[in-house]
Copies of this chain bind each other. A is one copy, B any other.
Amino acid sequence: MLIFEQGSQGRGASAQRPEARHGESGLPANLLRKTPAKLPEVSELQVVRHFTNLSRKNFSIDTHFYPLGSCTMKYNPRGAHRAASLPGFLKRHPLAPEAQSQGFLACLYDLQEILKEVTGMAGVSLCPMAGAQGEFAGVAMIRAYHDARQDYARNEILVPEAAHGTNPATAVMCGYKVREIPVRGDGDVDLEALKLAVGPQTAGIMMTNPSTCGVFERQIEQIAKTVHEAGGLLYYDGANLNAILGKVRPGDMGFDVLHMNLHKTFATPHGGGGPGSGPVAVGPRLQAYLPTPIVGREERDGKAVYRWLGMDDLPQSMGRLSAFMGNAGILLRAYAYALLLGKEGMHRVGEFSTLNANYMAALLKQAGFTLAYPQRRATHEFILTMSPELKKFGVNAMDFAKRLLDYGYHAPTTYFPLLVPECLLIEPTETESIDELEGFVKAMAQIRAEAENSPELVKGAPLTQPVRRLDDVRAARELDVNYSFSGRVAEA
């Protein structure tokens, strides 16, 4: 039942109404609202119960193993959440004077330094509010770089075909054309094709490494050389940084600019869709173009003093990306996480996420499943192709995904990357124990047996969720995105 269907005219959570204040309104009549908005009219208990019960219809890390490839659904430490929720942080106004902000600024400064260290880059800006905004900032910096050199001919961004959709979409938002580079059968970029593609029109290339194929791009140095020699720059999409954290640094691989997804690698909760945070890091060539604000540190009378660096300090900056300082609370969580891990902990992230993925891949292979890149090491994630199962049993990757829900496992990422047919992209993360990994593999094997013996069961899955499979076509055709209040009753 929708919250709108529970109300009664005049009902309300009256403890939430402020004490009445008397006085004369100074608002001109013609600017006043004419019709009240139909918001819920419900009691506080109804609100609490409704949303508590809604939450119970979700899968989440806190309740289920959630091996959603490319999303790094690892444990989100409650301690980091607690730290970011300290009253002093929650109450601080984004425009509070610097003198009254030294605690907050110190955290941000330290985080900048940590991110520089783990990426091997020269400068960091914490502003971008998600991965995609980080990509935008990064590509905009590439443009600013070429523009500053009056190299206006560069109008193309290269993107391997396995790339995430945000890469090409970002390039376009930055005014570039997108050229896709094919990926070879072993998951690496087709270097020859790349060599043919680069030229004076090349602004840069956007790459994920490990790629979304779940393998490490072995020719990264040649790629860097190729693109750099053509005058382009290399953008690193950090969505998969978890695989290599503490093991190899994008800066050392030759990347000029990158973003990190703190809501992946730095364990900040994804909140059912967001918020995230996508800081950008750059090599020396792009430092002048970083988005503002950034936190600077000075010594005054032997004491560290932190201050905002804005457009005055960074006149070549690619600009501002938000009204204030991006997703500050997420940055605090990421900083807390970094403090908890420390130097030793960073290495382990890459090591154990990789160990878990390789173990699962090995078990699934033993169980008869088909790895998309069987000759390669898995990174923190790997791909199964369900084409054999589709051929043999008529059961596809989506059917397996839905049936997994009935077994109490969130589905892996389905049908991404696009170049592997019937693919399941599986990312266990380092925070899951061997028991969960084995449980998942067992469930997959059982579903395979079901697919063989009773394929309709699998094709009809899920059976145990709040709803059965939903009619997406109808959702798009008979668009219902806004409750009509015309009295129809939903029984969700």
Interface residues, chain A, with chain B CB atoms under 8 Å away: 6, 8, 11, 15, 43-46, 48-49, 52-53, 56, 61-64, 75, 77-79, 87, 340, 431-435
Tell whether, in the assembled complex, residue A52 and residue B63 are in contact, meaning their CB atoms are under 8 Å apart. Answer: yes
> Which of B8, B43, B52, B433 touches A8 (beta carbons < 8 Å)?
B433
Q: Which single member of B52, B75, B435 contacts A44 (CB below 8 Å)?
A: B75
CB distance from A369 to the nearest CB of B (A): 25
CB pair A432 B15 closer than 8 Å: no
Residues from chain B with Cβ under 8 Å of A8 in the complex:
433-435
Give 21 pairs: A residue, B residue, CB < 8 Å, sorted on A.
Answer: A6-B433, A6-B435, A8-B433, A8-B434, A8-B435, A15-B77, A15-B79, A15-B340, A44-B75, A44-B78, A45-B61, A45-B75, A45-B431, A45-B432, A46-B433, A48-B75, A48-B78, A49-B62, A49-B63, A52-B62, A52-B63
Residue in contact with A11 in the complex, picked from B62, B75, B433, CB distance below 8 Å: B433
For A43, give its contact among B49, B53, B62, B431 (CB under 8 Å): B431
From A45, A63, A64, A78, residue with most partner B Cβ within 10 Å: A45
Q: How far is the CB of A447 from chain B (nearest CB, A)?
A: 20
Given contacts A45-B75, A87-B87, 17 further A-B contacts (CB under 8 A): A6-B433, A6-B435, A8-B435, A15-B77, A15-B79, A43-B75, A43-B431, A44-B77, A44-B78, A45-B431, A45-B432, A48-B62, A48-B75, A48-B78, A49-B62, A49-B63, A56-B56
Contacts of A53 on B, CB cut-off 8 Å?
A: 63
Hey, which chain B residues are within 8 Å of A52, CB to CB?
Answer: 62-63
> Nearest CB to that of A60 among chain B residues?
B52
C-alpha gap A356/B53 in the complex (Å): 24
- Which 3 residue pairs spanning A and B have beta carbons closest together? A45-B75, A52-B62, A45-B431
